[in-house]
Structure 1
Amino acid sequence: MLETLVIVPTYNEKENLEPIVDRILAASRHTDILVVDDNSPDGTGDLADELALRYPEVNVLHRAVKDGLGGAYRAGFAWGLDRGYWALVEMDADGSHHPEDLPRMIELLAEHDLVLGSRWVPGGKVENWPMRRQLLSKGGSAFTRAALGIEVRDATGGYRVFSADALRRLELGGVASQGYCFQVDLLWRALEHGLRVVETPITFTERVVGESKMSGSIVIESLLRVTAWGFKRRARAVAGLVGEGRRLPSVRASYHRVLPNSRMRD
């Protein structure tokens, strides 16, 4: 039984790929890496192949199309589940997610189904982000909490560890969202399925090299989809609560604060 697979989607991340691969391998034992490259024109895929020849822990999945973050992660999850990994990790290629946090997150998975690396819980922080980006991220999470009735502080974050069983239960074939809305989609599905979800603080560092893939169209897609999901949730809840006089329920994720250089604590 293999253990952990870190899935790293790439598109034009040639300058960032080798450093993040080296950091992952140094930070976490019994961990393999799957680079999912969407036919990067800058040669990222070729570099990934070179790293796979150098390190037995590195694997590469080449995709002919660029159809968003959701498509890349779905392909990576399917690859990992077919090969029997116990934990599957979402991690950005640009160094914004610190591989050094990974052992702690994997430890939390022993008692949970999904571990969220959170920027917006006590102990979490961001580095080198302009205030505009911070407000956009916090605002997006606040809007998602209100629309979907969830109590997750960082609903849009992309540093996550799933158990294999959790991914199988989420029925990924029905996930239509692409972009960064994919993260909200999976989180909401996890909470609605009653999975054990926990947030733990991380430090998020803005990329130094390359360009962010965030765009206005991605933000608009997320707003539209979350709004539609929110209306559907309320329609279902109101239909079930008619005559009972109860408020719409909210779905809570547990929260663990992990102090620096310490073992896991509540």
Structure 2
Amino acid sequence: MRPVICLPTYCERENLGPLVQEILEVAPTADVLVVDSASPDGTGQLADELAGQYPRVKAMHIPGPGSMAAAYVQGFKAALAADYDVVVQMDADFSHQPRYLPGLLEGLTDADVSIGSRYVHGGGVEQWSLGRRVVSRAGNLYVGAVLSMPYKDTTSGFVAWRRHVLEAVDFEDLHAEGRAFQVELKFRAHRLGFTLVEVPIHFWDRVVGASKLTPKSAVDSMVSVLKFRIKGE
């Protein structure tokens, strides 16, 4: 298995260095691909420095500020072109802890997609208010009901994909942004008949930097899920 960890970044300079170092330590067979969307805080320059320091780190620059979805699509395409067997997507703010990478990759032993899940036994969230917990759980229940998907954490952004799954997805036909992008990818894989499994993780609120999520993005995601259902994608 030849995995690459895809990290989309925008203004993550304070997090990127420690995160990359920890990934390299806990996942010794994996490379790291940083996809920076023209961060004004120097994240892109730091990515170049890390790539020069560590042979397993690659830096990619795309116009920005752009969407998370656009960064992931460009990263996925680059990873496939470089012949990686597995692509892992994860946030660059330590919300997704690198220590869960070995378990996430192990989940691919008998599956095509391994989802880092907050809502299976052994998973959880840390430092969240009760309101945020309720909204997140309700959102996942909503997705499951509308799209008839049996997974507990469809909005997770910590996911390992075997390359043949991403090769089967038409990236040019992906239209969702934000949380809905995470759902759309899993929905496509589910509809194509691939096997998805969930492995437990604990999700942590970012310690450094500002969140890119907004109430509007949550509403937009709910509307997008309905569109997936109506279109019967």
TM-score, with structure 1 as normaliser: 0.85
Residue 103 of structure 2: aligned partner:
104
Residue 176 of structure 1: aligned partner:
175
Residue 16 of structure 1: aligned partner:
15
Give the C-alpha shift of residue 229 in structure 1. Answer: 1.9
Residue 201 of structure 1: aligned partner:
200
The answer on whether the counterparts of 1:24 and 1:99 sit within 8 Å (CA) in structure 2 is: yes
Which amino acid in 2 is paired with 1:172? F
Distance in 2 (CA, whole Å) between partners of 1:23 and 1:167 is 26
Worse-matched range after superposition: 65-74 or 113-122: 65-74
Distance in 2 (CA, whole Å) between partners of 1:78 and 1:158 is 18
Residue 188 of structure 1: aligned partner:
187
Which amino acid in 1 is paired with 2:89? E
Residue 135 of structure 2: aligned partner:
136
Residue 89 of structure 2: aligned partner:
90
Residue 120 of structure 2: aligned partner:
121
Distance in 1 (CA, whole Å) between partners of 2:131 and 2:38 is 31
Correspondence 1:138-153 to 2 at 5 A: 138-153=137-152
Which amino acid in 2 is paired with 1:191? H
Residue-by-residue CA offset, 1:182-205 (whole Å, 9 max, x unaligned): 000001001100001001111111
Give 4+ residue runs of structure 1 displaced > 4 Å after superposition: none
List alignment gaps of at least 5 residues for structure 1.
237-266
SS of aligned partner of 1:204: strand
Distance in 2 (CA, whole Å) between partners of 1:221 and 1:67 is 17
The answer on whether the counterparts of 2:3 and 2:85 sit within 8 Å (CA) in structure 1 is: yes
Distance in 2 (CA, whole Å) between partners of 1:217 and 1:168 is 31
Worse-matched range after superposition: 216-225 or 162-171: 216-225
Identity of aligned residues (%): 39
**Number of equivalenced pairs:** 233
Distance in 2 (CA, whole Å) between partners of 1:76 and 1:228 is 25
Residue-by-residue CA offset, 1:1-35 (whole Å, 9 max, x unaligned): x7110000110111010111011001011110011
The answer on whether the counterparts of 1:115 and 1:198 sit within 8 Å (CA) in structure 2 is: yes
Give the C-alpha shift of residue 122 in structure 1. Answer: 1.0
SS of aligned partner of 2:5: strand
Larger Rg computed on CA atoms = 1
The answer on whether the counterparts of 2:144 and 2:151 sit within 8 Å (CA) in structure 1 is: yes
Residue 228 of structure 2: aligned partner:
229
Give the C-alpha shift of residue 211 in structure 1. Answer: 0.7
Give the C-alpha shift of residue 216 in structure 1. Answer: 2.1
List alignment gaps of at least 5 residues for structure 2.
none
Residue-by-residue CA offset, 1:101-149 (whole Å, 9 max, x unaligned): 1112112212211000000111101111122221121111011011111
Distance in 1 (CA, whole Å) between partners of 2:179 and 2:35 is 16
The answer on whether the counterparts of 1:69 and 1:180 sit within 8 Å (CA) in structure 2 is: no
Residue 49 of structure 1: aligned partner:
48
Which amino acid in 2 is paired with 1:81? L
Worse-matched range after superposition: 56-65 or 71-80: 56-65
SS of aligned partner of 1:60: strand
Residue 256 of structure 1: aligned partner:
none
Q: What is the alpha-carbon root mean square deviation over aligned residues?
A: 1.3
The answer on whether the counterparts of 2:116 and 2:199 sit within 8 Å (CA) in structure 1 is: yes
The answer on whether the counterparts of 1:118 and 1:154 sit within 8 Å (CA) in structure 2 is: yes
Give the C-alpha shift of residue 64 in structure 1. Answer: 1.4
Distance in 2 (CA, whole Å) between partners of 1:231 and 1:82 is 33
SS of aligned partner of 2:178: coil
